């Protein structure tokens, strides 16, 4: 597997050769490229940044971006979300990135990953299926892989639910972005993450194309708080995670994410140390990948 990062780069209009070289020098093969307004990109700028990545020997390992929730019950807004994600698909096809990241969205107006009781209804799930069928038709034509992520607070709240989605959409373009921390939803699972890890790969290993790396712990407060914590400081069984991902997707990317830039080097060391102990080789320089 190859090591990538969601971070270290500036906002995309400011990405240049020096910025790409810094990510490369930090020991990463690839970086995620985020587009805040995918319908408003200037293709001249896209080509400029693409050239900077290439000259630095840094792969664009995943395209990500902002878009309206794919489950919005307002049909006009949901259609906008489909249009915006489709624009990201076209960017991914042009850039030949290994995957385009997909979030399932949610019903809470505060954001895609916020809780709402209607996130888990059949009507919400059906809207997600319909939206993704529309986007997948474009992805199939452009040869783009969509990598959808789930979360216990989202419409995709379990490995079983993600499996149901992949089967319902039934497109070769739709695959899975595994992020085990997102599926830790109980005290028992936070203390021992093996059940969740094995369930994710048992249900979805054959469709897994990319991984996101972070860590999980229980907050020491008077009520339940399952916290995302810096990689290497929590309870996620990284030996099991890396072995299962290596079996499922030996040439795929694992991306460190959700950290301020100054904490990414420590997370990288923790990940490489865990991989060494697990007997897994992670490619973390462009020379190794060549």
Sequence spans of domains, the chain:
2-289
Beta pairing partners, 174: 146
Q: What percent of the chain has pLDDT over 70?
A: 98
Mean pLDDT (whole number) for 253-277: 95
The CA distance from 214 to 258, in Å, is 7
290: pLDDT strictly greater than 80: no
Q: Which pLDDT score is estimated for 287?
A: 56
Task: Return the DSSP state at 104.
Answer: -
The CA distance from 51 to 189, in Å, is 44
Q: Which fold is adopted by the domain 2-289?
A: TIM Barrel (3.20.20)
Mean pLDDT of all residues belonging to the chain: 95
286: pLDDT strictly greater than 60: no
* Distances from the Cα of 219 to the Cα of 89, 238, 266, angstroms: 38, 20, 21
Dihedral angle computed from the Cα positions of residues 53, 148, 180 and 153, in that order, rounded to the nearest 10 degrees: 130
For residue range 142-179, list pLDDT tens digits in order. Answer: 999 999 999 999 999 999 999 999 999 999 999 999 99
The CA distance from 4 to 23, in Å, is 9
53: pLDDT strictly greater than 70: yes
The CA distance from 53 to 58, in Å, is 5
For residue range 77-89, list pLDDT tens digits in order. Answer: 999 999 999 999 9
- Tokens 């950290």 correspond to 259
By CB neighbour count within 10 A (0-12 exposed, 13-18 middle, 19+ buried), where does 93 fall? middle
CB 12 within 8 A of CB 33: yes
pLDDT band for position 72 (50/70/90)? Answer: very high
pLDDT band for position 223 (50/70/90)? Answer: confident
């Amino acid at each position: 597997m190859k090591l990538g990062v969601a971070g270290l780069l500036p906002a995309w209009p400011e990405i240049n050769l020096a910025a790409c070289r810094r990510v490369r020098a930090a020991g990463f093969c690839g970086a995620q490229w985020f587009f805040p307004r995918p319908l408003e990109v200037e293709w001249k700028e896209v080509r400029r940044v693409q050239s900077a990545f290439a000259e630095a020997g840094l792969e664009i390992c995943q395209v990500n971006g902002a878009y309206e929730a794919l489950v919005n019950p307002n049909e006009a807004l949901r259609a906008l979300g489909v249009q915006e994600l489709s624009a990201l698909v076209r960017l991914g096809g042009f850039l030949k990135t290994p995957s385009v990241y997909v979030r399932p969205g949610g019903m809470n107006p505060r954001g895609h990953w916020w809780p709402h009781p209607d996130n888990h209804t059949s009507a919400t799930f059906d809207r997600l299926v319909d939206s993704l069928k529309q986007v997948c038709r474009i992805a199939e034509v452009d040869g783009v892989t969509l990598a959808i992520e789930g979360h216990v607070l989202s419409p995709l709240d379990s490995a079983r639910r993600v499996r149901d989605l992949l089967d319902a959409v039934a497109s070769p373009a739709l695959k899975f972005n595994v992020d085990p921390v997102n599926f830790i939803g109980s005290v028992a699972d936070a203390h021992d993450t093996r059940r969740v890890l094995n369930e994710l790969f048992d249900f979805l290993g054959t469709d897994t194309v990319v991984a996101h790396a972070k860590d999980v712990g229980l907050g020491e407060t008077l009520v339940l708080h399952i916290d995302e914590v810096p990689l290497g400081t929590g309870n996620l069984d990284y030996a099991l995670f890396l072995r299962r991902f290596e079996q499922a997707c030996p040439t795929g990317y694992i991306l460190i994410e959700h950290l301020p830039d100054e904490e990414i080097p420590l997370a990288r060391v923790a990940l490489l140390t865990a991989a060494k102990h697990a007997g897994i080789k992670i490619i973390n320089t462009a020379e190794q990948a060549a």
